[in-house]
Amino acid sequence: MKANRIIRNTIALMGLFAALSISECTYARVNTMGNATTATTTAATTPLLLTSTADGQQSLVASTPTVSNKPAAMPLIRLMPNVKQQTIDGFGYAITYSTCYNLLHMTKADRKAFLERTFSPTKGFGASYVRISIGCNDFSSKEYTLCDKPGLQHFALQSDETDYVIPILKEVLAINPGIKVIAAPWTCPQWMKVKDLESLKPFNSWTDGHLNPNMRKTYAQYFVKFIQAMQAAGIHIYAVSPQNEPLNHRNCASLYLPWDEEAPLVADLAQAIKQAGLSTLIYLFDHNYNYDDVASQDAYPVNVVNALGQMQFEGNELVVGAAYHNYGGREEELDRIHGLIPDKQLIFSETSIGTWNDGRNLKRRLVDDMRHVVIGTTNRWCRAALVWNLMLDDHRGPNLDGGCQTCDGAVNISSADYRTLTLNSHYYIISHASAVVKPGAVHIAASDLKDKALSYAAFLNPDGTYGVLLASDSDAARELTIGDGHRTATITLPAHSVVSLRF
């Protein structure tokens, strides 16, 4: 048995989730042998407590916390609903070709049950945000863009989009029509690349290279064509970023785009989107907290915002903020950037687990990931938190040579039967967050217990309920009271656990 809950009887499991009336937010606990042990049904505004432990003994187990109007006992986390910060857009996953390949190898019934459990706001955990690529990424079937022949007359969605990503996105949107979709390219078409901006020598390579300045307006129209093509397929692109990991020139598909090259591209991109009558937003940067230790790129999105302020272009209002990854540096950088550009939004758009961080070991990953990926980012102004692949197989694929060969998905599925699922830490943390913090919620202040073993974040949902996320690295269980001076919830926080509360 594995502590991170290998689900063996998948047909029975999926049938269970499909059959349960989760219109009242039903959750089921499944033990390591795949037998359904309990199912708890609670109305949307009924108090709800979800618990997962790093030893795997509790896995998204639902229970009802004690809620009262009496004065709270200590220790108390005091909620401050009048001290409001950012609005929350949601939590979710990357939907890559590899994710879709694995999902489409499941039976239709099993896939529907899994997607409902993951994305439905009424029958499951309600994940509400997804990220896709514009052209290939390192979890695509091949290296490609949407216009590999010179001239935008050759633009067209490819098989990865039409046969994999779009069909799955349509299934997800049928389950949760409110899903937000953000998209980013890993590279521009090779015919738009140059080796450097001095020589403008053509650079016919998937990896590295710069965007030819003479191609900026053409590339902006490439984005517009993508947004329009996806719209024609029934997929609204809520936002884009100009380049995934613009300082990473080593990925299998990549483009080196330092801030002084991104700024003029963003001006052309915003104008092109605006003139096309589209509403797609733009998030800058989309890379690491430490700017890959390139001194000239420090505070990258701030530099772009300042540069844009010196330009005249339509669509400036579409440039709403910046996106971050955590493969280098720490989330405290978000506080600094918010202080420098407080009128711009922040989102956390990518993190992965894998062999380098013991990704399948809940004892190592569960509490740490909840603390840094969800709680640490939303406590520092992020409106969304997304993780990388929703689903990979047990060989960490399919993937491309030169890309990540060591990444795990939020869920790993057996390639032997496409039924056996292993839920990893990223599935737990996104499910915990999305189950109790709904799109449109507002992050609120909460008192500081000054407890290094405990991390938490608090939110006020649109329906007036509170959502509270907690991660405990303590060796002992503890009872905790949480309240606003009028209502108090009492919960038990197990040792080394993640807990989410709605009341």
pLDDT band at 30, cuts 50/70/90? very low
Residue 35 pLDDT > 70: no
Query: What band does 31 get if pLDDT is binned at 50, 70 and 90?
Result: very low
- Calpha distance 104→168 (Å, rounded): 8
Q: For 403, which DSSP code?
A: S
CA 193 and chain centroid, separation? 29
d(CA 487, CA 485): 6
In degrees, rounded to 5, the angle at the alpha carbon of residue 146 between the alpha carbons of residues 412 and 312 is 110
The yes-or-no verdict on residue 401 having pLDDT over 90 is: no
SS3 of 430-498: the string is HHHHHHHCCCCCEEEEECCCCCCCEEEEEEECCCCCEEEEEEECCCCCEEEEEECCCCEEEEEECCCEE
User: How many angstroms separate the CA atoms of 98 and 498, rounded?
Assistant: 28
Rounded mean pLDDT, 125-137: 98
Q: What is the pLDDT of residues 163-177, one digit of tens each?
A: 999 999 999 999 999
* Percent of the chain clearing pLDDT 70 (strictly above): 91
**How many residues in the chain?**
503
Arithmetic mean of pLDDT, 384-400 = 95
Residue 10: both structure tokens together: 């998948």
For residue 112, which of 15, 37, 39 has the smallest C-alpha distance? 15
Q: What is the pLDDT of residues 179-231, one digit of tens each?
A: 999 999 999 999 999 999 999 999 999 999 999 999 999 999 999 999 999 99
Domains in the chain, CATH or no CATH each:
6-85+449-502 (2.60.40.1180), 89-436 (3.20.20.80)
User: Distance (Å, rounded) from C-alpha 493 to C-alpha 32?
Assistant: 22
Per-residue confidence band for 400, with pLDDT thresholds at 50, 70 and 90: confident
Average pLDDT, the chain: 91
